[in-house]
Chains A and B, each alone.
Chain A
């Protein structure tokens, strides 16, 4: 069901844990729906220098968390905001259709962590909250 890459990131997840004194922390999802992703970012001069995560969820949720942290590292905040769920899924050589919402969660987690970074630095985020913590906001593509 899962690609080799998903299984690799699931069995050997990169960047599990937390960053002390992180510059941005975002948590999305809801235990009711069976997945929560929490992302920690270390940001220096507008560039993400480190990223870690903790995730409660299925194989795809853990693998996408792992991949998303890998993808944001070294990127500027603006670049990281442009990472889409599709890009995360593609980097994992695809996800089964029913699992696409998990990659959605990764995109949301990145945004939530950066939003937190903006807030801490008194910068204007502009848009509303990324994740309402409600299942529907992350599970939009399901029946």
Chain B
């Protein structure tokens, strides 16, 4: 196989060379424990604080409001459980959405078992949360609203500013999982009234296994890890110094020119969407037409199943993903695709393509060259398509 095109940047990204170069010394000569007082310890400490400042600059907050974690998942867990258990005396109600990442959904489900009540707001056909429904869901027991900034599957970007305003008016904490948004959408935690925000380095050309949680000063939150005094005692555990350094460098690079990066990705995305919808019949775009991540295209091709599509694309050197049950290891297709109202059989036939920095117009050309015949080939094998062609089934 000669050609290799990576089109799954929402799953993860490679580490940029400049990021890697900054990380390397902290594995080798600068290996000191940041809690030690001698010079290589102090150097590690300084590196962590520099990274913290970079994250703070990217989010427009104070460095002391940033806490490093071992992943985006950990940041989500910490924010939600931390607020829930610390504010139990005020209420036991949490509002989130039906299309959150499992890091949020499963955390909320866990809390339900612990006696909390959770409202999972439905979304419209584009994956948008309704502000009216949010208003209606709020009770005097509501202690937390957790709504993702941008969806990882369909790319829909939520009205975060409006949600933040509602939360502030009602005096309810607002957490947002911004794992997919950082580097793609400009973020200002004050302007958006965000109280807590999760991010993860491997989605913006940083290393895997390191993330951060922004916690607005004054938010009442239980500590997530008990142990040493790291992260001012709030998240114990010897710091992943190279990872944190990598996160810092990566967020600095990712937020340097968001508009430039955005417009490049948007051009690739929009051409792909337009031509796929033109070239391939019985196809729909999932997610919002405009309020979506710049690199995200998510399609459903009727009468075929997503995993077989991915396998055939892989044979042609294209790496992408799907919301099909077969790729999720469960029997049900993606909860996000079901939440936007797709019938099961159409949700099974989804394809997510997420562009990144290294992609080019030639990559789009190549997808447009290989994708239509693959879809056609699978449809020719499908008894559902045969029924449509024979006119037995109406679509």
Contact = CB atoms under 8 A, between A and B. Distances in A.
Do A and B interact?
yes
Interface of A: 2, 7, 10-11, 13, 16, 18, 27, 31-38, 54-62, 98-99, 135, 139, 142
Contact of A56 (B304, B311, B329, B343): B304
Interface of A is mostly: mixed
Contacts of B384: 31, 36, 56
Given A32-B344, A33-B331, A34-B345, A59 B307 contact: yes
Contact of B305 (A16, A35, A99): A35
Nearest to A96: B329
B381 A34 contact: no
Contact of B308 (A54, A59, A98): A59
A64 to B, nearest CB: 12
B305 A54 contact: no
A56 B383 contact: yes
Interface of B is mostly: helix
Interface string B283-312: 000000000000000000001111110011
14 contacts: A7-B311, A10-B308, A10-B311, A13-B381, A31-B344, A32-B343, A32-B345, A34-B333, A54-B383, A56-B304, A56-B381, A62-B308, A135-B331, A139-B331
Nearest to A60: B326
Contact of A58 (B303, B307, B382, B386): B307
Contacts, number: 74
Contacts of B382: 36, 54-56
Interface in B319-368: 324-326, 329, 331, 333, 343-345, 348
A10 B308 CA distance: 8
A18 B389 CA distance: 14
A86 B362 CA distance: 45
A98 B380 CA distance: 26
A34 B308 CA distance: 11
A56 B305 contact: yes
B86 interface: no
Interface string B230-244: 000000000000000
B209 to A, nearest CB: 23
B51 to A, nearest CB: 37
A11 B315 contact: yes
Contacts of A11: 312, 315
Given A56-B304, A62-B308, 9 more contacts: A34-B324, A34-B344, A54-B381, A54-B382, A55-B381, A57-B305, A60-B326, A135-B331, A142-B331
B383 A38 contact: yes
